Chains A and B, each alone.
Chain A
Amino acid sequence: GENVEQHPSTLSVQEGDSAVIKCTYSDSASNYFPWYKQELGKGPQLIIDIRSNVGEKKDQRIAVTLNKTAKHFSLHITETQPEDSAVYFCAASRIGTASKLTFGTGTRLQVTL
């Protein structure tokens, strides 16, 4: 089955700096890669996703890049703000059948003033 590894497990940045979180996946058939933000006591919130036919996608301060050959994808957050502090999860799945998500182990992002 699919295996997703995520690094780093914790990340501390100063407000205004950029943050990068990296994930690798094992199943070359995976073709959908969402990122979720989870705040304490809440469910994961979808913040951005990318499909395998696209190499990069941006949404305001958030961007995701995908390298299919290397089987890794990354989340980039620019101009970080204190409200970006949360746990971020990457995930992978195959569109079409169950499309069940396999998640990474999460990155705790702390944005300090």
Chain B
Amino acid sequence: DTGVSQDPRHKITKRGQNVTFRCDPISEHNRLYWYRQTLGQGPEFLTYFQNEAQLEKSRLLSDRFSAERPKGSFSTLEIQRTEQGDSAMYLCASSPGTSGSEQYFGPGTRLTVT
């Protein structure tokens, strides 16, 4: 399968713990996006990478959130000191960039904070 992959698919954690999610984009896609989706809502933009550079962050991305894309390939999203309000589906998407605007989403990581 050459689509976007995410790991883990599900994560249950206790409030206050740190969690890290991984996204592997479609090969050769230089743009990578993170979105968050809560129940009954559309995805909301969190942050965006062009190759290894993080070029934009949403106001939704508090100081407890950090994202990296160290070699311009896979990306990680870390949430420190998780709160119950962080419970959501975290979606990763990749795009070829330049002339291609299409974003292709992975299956998401469902986070539950207890």
- Count how many chain A residues have C-beta atoms less than 8 Å from C-beta atoms of the other chain: 25
Chain B contacts to A: CB under 8 angstroms: 4, 31, 33, 35, 40-45, 48, 55-56, 91, 95, 101-108
In this complex, the member of A42, A93, A100 whose beta carbon has the largest number of chain B beta carbons within 10 angstroms is A100
The 3 closest A-B pairs by CB, nearest first: A103-B42, A43-B105, A100-B45
Contact pick for B41, options A44, A101, A106, CB 8 Å: A106
Determine whether the beta carbon of A100 is less than 8 Å from that of B43.
no
Q: A43-B91, A43-B108, A98-B56 given as contacts; is B103 within 8 A of A103 (CB)?
A: no
Contact pick for B102, options A34, A42, A100, A106, CB 8 Å: A34
Determine whether the beta carbon of B107 is less than 8 Å from that of A42.
yes
B104, closest chain A residue (CB): A46
Residues of A close to B44: CB separation below 8 A = 103
A4, closest chain B residue (CB): B42
Instruction: Write the nearest CB–CB distance from B108 to chain A, whole angstroms.
Output: 5
Residues of B close to A105: CB separation below 8 A = 40-42
Determine whether the beta carbon of A103 is less than 8 Å from that of B101.
no
Chain A contacts to B: CB under 8 angstroms: 4, 6, 32, 34, 36, 41-46, 49, 89, 91, 93, 95, 98-106
Residues of B close to A6: CB separation below 8 A = 42
Residues of B close to A98: CB separation below 8 A = 48, 55-56
Contact pick for B101, options A43, A89, A99, A102, CB 8 Å: A99
Residues of B close to A46: CB separation below 8 A = 102-105
Contact pick for B33, options A32, A34, A42, A100, CB 8 Å: A100
Residues of A close to B106: CB separation below 8 A = 43
Whole-angstrom CA separation of A102 from B41 in the bound complex: 12
In this complex, the member of A32, A98, A105 whose beta carbon has the largest number of chain B beta carbons within 10 angstroms is A98
Instruction: Write the nearest CB–CB distance from A45 to chain B, whole angstroms.
Output: 7
Residues of A close to B56: CB separation below 8 A = 98, 100
Instruction: Write the nearest CB–CB distance from B21 to chain A, whole angstroms.
Output: 13
Determine whether the beta carbon of A101 is less than 8 Å from that of B45.
yes
Whole-angstrom CA separation of A103 from B102 in the bound complex: 14
Whole-angstrom CA separation of A89 from B102 in the bound complex: 14
